[in-house]
Amino acid sequence: MSNAIPEHVPNPNRWKILPIVILMSFMSSLDSSIVNIALPTLTREMNEPVTAMTWVVTSYLITICALMLLFGRLGDIKGNTLIFRTGVIVFICGSLLCGISINLTMLIVSRVIQAVGAASAMATNQGIITQAFRQNERGRALGFNATFVALGSLCGPPLGGFIVSALSWHFIFLINIPVGLFIFLRGRRILPKGATVNETLDIKGVVLFALSMVLIFCAIGIGETIHFSTPLLIVPIAIGLVLVSVFIMVERKLPQPMLDLKIFKNGLFSISIICTFLVYASLNSINLVQPFYLQNARALSTFTSGLIMMIYPVVLAISSPISGYLSDKIGQKLPTLIGLCISTVAYIGAAMMTIRTSLFLTGLVYACLGIGTSLFQAPNTSLIMSTVPGNKLGVAGSINAFVRNLGFIFGVLIATTVLFSSMGAKYGQPVNDYVQGRPDLFIYGMRVTYLVFAGVCFAAAIITAVRLFTWGHRKAQET
């Protein structure tokens, strides 16, 4: 028996539901990047090497990727709201344990617990929004959610720096507790019950997928410190890819799989998911390159650099709801294409920047990136969630969130590899950090990196153009 509101009836509490969901989206995303700024402090206080301390960040991302599809499927079976609220409680407990950790092992285990809660919430938030909002308002609502996901990742480093300098590294985790309690208590009163189905969970699929993701991403995490041709990395990646293949074969044969592969037969859904991966891979290059460019190459103060770095998330925050509203009025496909074209031009502009580029032009480039990203995010998410039936919203949302996190991980890997290999090629020897006194090396590496991601965005724009004109033509023929 379901207490869900029928599809054609708008939820009267929908605009009260939205702040609860997007606040948790923000906190989950924030904790993927807020720790980065505290790593030097943690390294000193816990007397651990930097290479070991990076697992505080990596363990969180790997756990989310490994469990995202599981919680999306559980959301479809048990109701998105139940899984979401359970995730909030687990996230609070994990945050408390992180805040009181006394050594690296305890901190990493606590981060894994925290990530379990974050994965639960991130896998089901889009399903809750889609159920609460009808088609003519969904773009705006999903636009707000996409905004706060991006803001969480972008605001993490500056916010974490403020907390660590003003208080202590413990509080970058402890601040989650009052916010999480507010979300949970408010959610108990406002969030809808959610639909449930009498189906079973595919345990075999859960194990195969989680194990494959852990093997692949742990190897990638280690690969950032040693060469990728090392057998220590090749073997787990190969085993992980084999397990992915086995997972796909198993899922195709099951009547109630964890991941219903039939969902990918919808061309609009599949193309939109591919575009999500490409855009979020590009997005993370900004977090990596900007601080080096502003503080090292241009020798700007931390305060000035912080102000310039805030241009992108502020513009994104302002323009994303507008983008969602626009997609509700004119459809989702055209805004995504325009956004990707703007982003492509902006990445090219970023590649052309030098140490003498005016701060006005620098800020303008970052503002254009914010506008381009916002025009893509909300309409593309709305399109993804609108192409699946109501009983697949949890899986669709979890796939979108999984691919988004996958893009973030591979974006860092690609950006790091391109940046430092380009610098090394120009320098004539291997480079794995900013070379003091040689801003020309960094500017060269930055140019190559941004041009690569301009190409990535351009590829997404071409795919989107095909999506626009192919499906637009089919729709015209059907009418």
State mean pLDDT over 443-456: 90
CATH number (domain holding residue 369): 1.20.1250.20
The per-residue pLDDT for range 234-269, each reduced to its tens digit, is 788 888 889 888 888 888 887 777 777 778 877 778
Q: Are 467 and 332 members of one domain?
A: yes
State mean pLDDT over 160-186: 87
Determine the Cα–Cα distance for residues 200 and 190; give it in Å rounded to an integer: 28
Token pair 């159920």 is at which residue? Answer: 131
Q: Are 33 and 3 members of one domain?
A: yes
Q: How confident is the model at residue 226 (pLDDT cuts 50, 70, 90)?
A: low
Determine the Cα–Cα distance for residues 224 and 208; give it in Å rounded to an integer: 25
Q: At what angle do helices 39-46 and 104-132 cross, to 10 degrees?
A: 150
Q: What is the structure's pLDDT at 97?
A: 94
Copy the structure tokens of residue 119: 């994965």
Q: Are 166 and 247 members of one domain?
A: no
Copy the structure tokens of residue 446: 């930055």
State mean pLDDT over 51-74: 82
Q: Are 222 and 280 members of one domain?
A: no
Domain-ending residue, one of 216, 237, 257: 257
Of 307-311, 348-352, 445-449, least confident by mean pLDDT is: 307-311
Q: Are 449 and 340 members of one domain?
A: yes
Q: Are 367 and 337 members of one domain?
A: yes
Determine the Cα–Cα distance for residues 366 and 350; give it in Å rounded to an integer: 8
Q: How confident is the model at residue 399 (pLDDT cuts 50, 70, 90)?
A: confident
Copy the structure tokens of residue 448: 């190559």
Q: Are 321 and 403 members of one domain?
A: yes
Q: Are 162 and 147 members of one domain?
A: yes
Copy the structure tokens of residue 51: 């290479």
Determine the Cα–Cα distance for residues 266 and 409; give it in Å rounded to an integer: 26
Determine the Cα–Cα distance for residues 214 and 140; give it in Å rounded to an integer: 35
What b-and-e string marks burial along 419-431, b requiring 16 or more CB atoms within 10 Å of the CB? Answer: bbbbbbebbeeeb
> Looking at per-residue confidence, does 229 or 373 come out higher?
373
Domain-ending residue, one of 234, 257, 280: 257
Of 50-54, 187-191, 336-340, least confident by mean pLDDT is: 50-54
Range of the domain at 206: 202-257
Query: What is the count of structural domains for the chain?
Result: 3
Label each residue of the chain as H, E or C: CCCCCCCCCCCCCHHHHHHHHHHHHHHHHHCCCCCHHHHHHHHHHHCCCHHHHCHHHHHHHHHHHHHHHHHHHHHHHHCHHHHHHHHHHHHHHHHHHHHCCCCHHHHHHHHHHHHHHHHHHHHHHHHHHHHHCCHHHHHHHHHHHHHHHHHHHHHHHHHHHHHHHHCCCCHHHHCHHHHHHHHHHHHHHHCCCCCCCCCCCCHHHHHHHHHHHHHHHHHHHHHCCCCCCCHHHHHHHHHHHHHHHHHHHHHHHCCCCCCCHHHHHCHHHHHHHHHHHHHHHHHHHHHHHHHHHHHHHCCCCHHHHHHHHCHHHHHHHHHHHHHHHHHHHHCCHHHHHHHHHHHHHHHHHHHCCCCCCCHHHHHHHHHHHHHHHHHHHHHHHHHHHHCCCHHHHHHHHHHHHHHHHHHHHHHHHHHHHHHHHHHHHHHCCCCCCCCCCCHHHHHHHHHHHHHHHHHHHHHHHHHHHHHHHHHHHHHHHHC
Half-sphere exposure at residue 217, Cβ-oriented, CA atoms within 13 angstroms: 26
State mean pLDDT over 186-200: 77
Does position 63 have pLDDT exceeding 80, yes or no? Answer: yes
Determine the Cα–Cα distance for residues 207 and 205; give it in Å rounded to an integer: 5
Q: What is the structure's pLDDT at 1?
A: 37
Give the residue among 207, 127, 179 at the shortest CA–CA distance from 401: 127
> Looking at per-residue confidence, does 96 or 335 come out higher?
96
C-beta atoms surrounding 356 within 10 Å: 6
Domain-ending residue, one of 199, 216, 246: 199
Rounded to 5°, the CA angle 220-222-228 comes to 65
> Looking at per-residue confidence, does 413 or 341 come out higher?
341
The per-residue pLDDT for range 90-119, each reduced to its tens digit, is 999 999 999 998 888 899 999 999 999 999
pLDDT averaged over every residue in the chain: 80
Q: Are 379 and 237 members of one domain?
A: no
Copy the structure tokens of residue 254: 């099951």
Q: Are 207 and 322 members of one domain?
A: no
The most confident of 9-18, 107-116, 333-342, 376-385, by mean pLDDT: 107-116
Q: Please give the backbone phi and psi of residue 5, each rounded to the nearest 5 degrees, phi first.
A: -75, 135
Q: Distance between terminal CA atoms of the chain?
A: 37
Q: Are 323 and 356 members of one domain?
A: yes
Q: What is the structure's pLDDT at 423?
A: 85
Determine the Cα–Cα distance for residues 160 and 169; give it in Å rounded to an integer: 8
Q: Are 321 and 408 members of one domain?
A: yes
